[in-house]
Structure formats: structure tokens, C-alpha cells
Amino acid sequence: MIKELNKLNDQEIELMKETPALIAILVAGADGVIDEKEMYWAEKVKIFRSSKEDSMLKEYYSEAVRGFRKTMEELIEELPINLSERNYEITKRLKGLNKILPKLNRKLSIEFYKSLLSYAEQVAKASGGIMGFASISPEERKWLSLDMIKDPSEKG
């Protein structure tokens, strides 16, 4: 994992590792159902990012893809079944990043945040449109801005 994460405690590191799976569940499950195709593409996007990302996050993505499917399945089991309760719990967990990102190098935290936004959009596009791509449902769209996470590039 990225050396920068050594500044974090075990719970914070765990949240960093779970974040992609939490976002995938939030976005892919926005319509109340997480289908196999959405899980498959959420995982594939992570694998692609780990091999192609030319950034400070390459090491993070390489680590995050290990056990990604298992993490997603465990979170789906652990989180409430009720959609609004599940979304509330995921939102609450993702808000925890607001205490973590300021502890990291500013450039890294900004890149991480932007990467999460891009990832959320890719997960949303995985389940609709022509041949499964390019269509984002209104339910998914409302989560794409990840409003619960403060943009680390903004002051204040």
C-alpha cells in the first residue's frame, strides 16, 4: 500500500481499502439491485485502474483489487438490505474519508478524490445503455458527485 497510508490507523486504512467496494455498492445498487454484471464491471474497472493508472495511486489500486470481490460480497452481507438504510450506512462510512484525506499529502488526496468520482461514473455506466455502457439511471446519477466526501482541493 502507499507509504502515505502509514500515517493512518488500522481502521482508517481499512476504510481506504473498502472505499471502492462501498462506492460500487452505493452506485450499482442505487436502483435497489446489484446484479452480477455490475459486480463484474466494478471489479474490472478496478483491475484496469491498477494496471493502467500512471499516478501515485497505482500502488493503491494494485492493493485494492486484491480481494475486491470478496470485500464487496462481505459488505453486501453486512450492510442493511433496505435501500435507504444501506445508502445511509454507506454514506456515513464514506464521510469518514473527510477525516482521513487531510492527513495525506494534498496532491495524493486530491488525486484520490478525483479518481473516486471517475470510478463512480464508470460503475454507473456499466449497467445500462448500448451493450451495457453509457447510460446512467436517475437513481445512480444522484450518487455520482459523492457529496458526502469533501473535495480536498477546496479550502474551508
* Residue 137 maps to a domain: yes
In a domain, 104, yes or no: yes
- Closest by CA to 93, choosing from 107, 78, 105, is 78
Query: Is 146 a member of any domain?
Result: no
In a domain, 22, yes or no: yes
How far is residue 89 from each of residues 53, 154, 156, measured CA to CA in Å?
A: 29, 25, 25
Query: How many separate domains does the chain show?
Result: 1
Q: Tell whether 109 is covered by a domain.
A: yes
Residue 156 is assigned to a structural domain of this protein: no
Q: What percent of the chain has pLDDT over 70?
A: 87
Q: Are 110 and 153 in contact (CB under 8 A)?
A: yes
Q: Which domain holds residue 8?
A: 3-141
pTM: 0.88
* pLDDT tens per residue across span 64-109: 778 888 898 999 999 999 999 999 999 999 999 999 999 999 998 9
- Largest distance between two CA atoms of the chain: 44
Does 30 map to a domain? Answer: yes
Within-domain flag for 108: yes
For residue range 114-136, what is the model confidence (pLDDT) as tens digits?
989 988 888 887 765 444 555 78
